[in-house]
Amino acid sequence: MTYWLLNLCFLVPAALVLTAALIRRRRLAHGSDRANRAFLATLAGCAAVLLALTAVFDNLMIAAGLFGYNPERISGAFLGLAPLEDFAYPLAAVLLLPALWQLFGSRQNHPEEER
């Protein structure tokens, strides 16, 4: 199994949960897309920070020889020393964790929701 196939096992469910959270947010905001745009902008900023940190620290750890990758299982595309496959995990976290917070958070987390 390649790392990209393994990544799909995380990214597809994370994207589906995020979609459910966005649908719920839109319904609670009575069809307004403004709440979703702000939420997605926040996710994009968080993704940028996490991906930058992943690039820095993965490259440092690989350069230090802490771990390596089987060349037969990676795509061969790299950002520095880190294969692109490594960036799927922080992306999955950015998609999944805030979406779960939106779906299962307390009602106090949704000020636009009617009581």
**pLDDT confidence of residue 36:** 85
Compute the residue count for the chain: 115
For 4-59, write each residue's pLDDT tens digit. Answer: 999 999 999 999 999 999 999 888 887 778 878 888 999 999 999 999 999 999 99
The predicted model gives 57-65 an average pLDDT of 96
Task: Look at residue 66 and tell me if it is in a domain.
Answer: yes
pLDDT higher at 115 or 74:
74
Distance CA 109, CA 81 (A): 40
> Among 57, 56, 22, which Cα is nearest to 42's?
22
Distance CA 4, CA 104 (A): 29
Domain count, the chain: 1
- Domain membership of residue 31 as a residue range: 3-105
Task: Look at residue 30 and tell me if it is in a domain.
Answer: yes
Task: Look at residue 10 and tell me if it is in a domain.
Answer: yes
Task: Look at residue 110 and tell me if it is in a domain.
Answer: no
Task: Look at residue 113 and tell me if it is in a domain.
Answer: no
The predicted model gives 78-93 an average pLDDT of 95
**pLDDT confidence of residue 28:** 85
What global pTM score does this model have?
0.81
Task: Look at residue 114 and tell me if it is in a domain.
Answer: no
